[in-house]
Amino acid sequence: MNGLSMNAIPARLRQWLQGVGAKHVGIAFGLLAAAALVMHLTVIFWLPRHANWQVWQFLSGEGQLVNAWFHSPRQTPDNAGDIKAAPEIGYSTCAIDLAQGPVRLRVNAWTPYTSLALYDATGFNFFVLNDTQMDQGFAEIVLGAEGAADRDVYRIASPTRRAVAIVRRLIPTDEGWAEVAAVRAGDVCGVIPPEEARS
């Protein structure tokens, strides 16, 4: 068994391997390398998908609220638990599933700060914009139908069938929480009807 320092191997193991033969020891090393590679790749691809699948399931209410906005209330000790939530941020989330076709998102701008971020099934942030880019006072995105932008409508292809949209609005005053409700009510997250998609 050339290329391997036999002195580094305990005597009994060395004797045992010599009984097996160099050919099989070589095959064994190949199996070890292949198994290591497969497991390594499995872990790095499984971990983000598994973690974000659990997030998607939570945000969609185990699949009950899909392609629709959920507007979170103000985060307080009573509802935030052990999460380090920002008390000044109004979160809105949409668990997206493109199985039924492209999804339209509309986000109304809110002063002093609004951002929209889109994440794919691995948690990769593939799209983001904020209120400084909402010239008309809102942003409209068609997700799952790539194409040229049309009058400030962003047409984006999602890397994965499932995605998550998060809107973050800064609401620094008590009065703002009452006022933002009307703004949130105008947000849209929904499947584009087939007849509209064909037009």
Residue 93 near residue 59 (C-beta atoms within 8 A): yes
**Amino acid letter for position 11:** A
Distance CA 167, CA 160 (A): 19
As a whole number of angstroms, the distance between CA 4 and CA 150 comes to: 65
- Binding of other proteins at residue 97 (CB under 8 A)? no
Q: Minimum Å distance from CB 110 to other proteins? A: 12
Residue 175 engages other proteins in binding (rule: CB under 8 A) = no
Q: Measured between alpha carbons, how far is 145 from 155 in angstroms, rounded to an integer?
A: 6
Decide if residue 37 touches other proteins (CB under 8 A).
yes
**Residue 18 or residue 100: which is nearer to other proteins going by CB?**
18
Residue 7 neighbours by CB distance under 10 Å: 7
Q: Residue 158 CB: number of other CB atoms within 10 A?
A: 21
The two structure tokens encoding residue 21: 């033969």
Question: What tokens does 45 get?
Answer: 């691809």
Q: Is 151 exposed, middle or buried (0-12, 13-18, 19+ CB in 10 A)?
A: exposed
One symbol per residue from 114 to 153: x for binding other proteins (CB under 8 A), - otherwise; what is it?
Answer: -x-x-x--xxxx--x-x-----------------------
Q: Which of 35, 149, 157, 185 binds other proteins (CB under 8 A)?
A: 35
| Separation in Å, CA 56 to CA 48, 62, 63, 95 | 12, 8, 8, 6
> Per rule CB under 8 A, is residue 44 in the interface with other proteins?
yes
- CB of 40: closest distance to other proteins in angstroms? 4
Q: Does 178 bind other proteins (CB under 8 A)?
A: no
The reply on whether position 76 binds other proteins by CB under 8 A is yes
Max alpha carbon distance in the chain (Å)?
Answer: 82
- Span of 45-53, 138-146, 150-158, 186-194 interacting with other proteins by CB under 8 A: 45-53
Q: 91 or 197, CB closer to other proteins?
A: 91
Name the site residues for other proteins (rule: CB under 8 A): 16-17, 19-21, 24-25, 27-29, 31-45, 47-48, 50-52, 55, 75-77, 80-88, 112-113, 115, 117, 119, 122-125, 128, 130, 164, 166, 168, 170, 172-173
